[in-house]
Amino acid sequence: MSPKRVFRYKRERHPRYFRVVGPLHSLDAIAKPIPLGALLTATGEYGRSGNRYYVRLTRRIPARRGPVVLEEWVLTRDLMNPMLAKPCDKRCVLRRKSDRAKAALRAILNFAPLRK
Identify the residue with better confidence: 49 or 91: 49
Confidence grade of residue 112 (pLDDT, cut at 50, 70, 90)? low
CATH code of the domain containing 58:
2.30.30
Helices (H), 12-84: 76-79
Single-letter residue type at 66: G
Predicted confidence at residue 60, as pLDDT, reads 86
Range of the domain at 82: 5-89
Predicted confidence at residue 50, as pLDDT, reads 84
In a domain, 99, yes or no: no
In a domain, 108, yes or no: no
In a domain, 53, yes or no: yes
In a domain, 10, yes or no: yes
Helices (H), 45-89: 76-79
CA distance 10 to 68: 25
Domain count, the chain: 1
In a domain, 13, yes or no: yes
In a domain, 107, yes or no: no
Single-letter residue type at 30: I
How does the average pLDDT of the chain come out, rounded? 81
- Whole-model pTM above 0.85? no
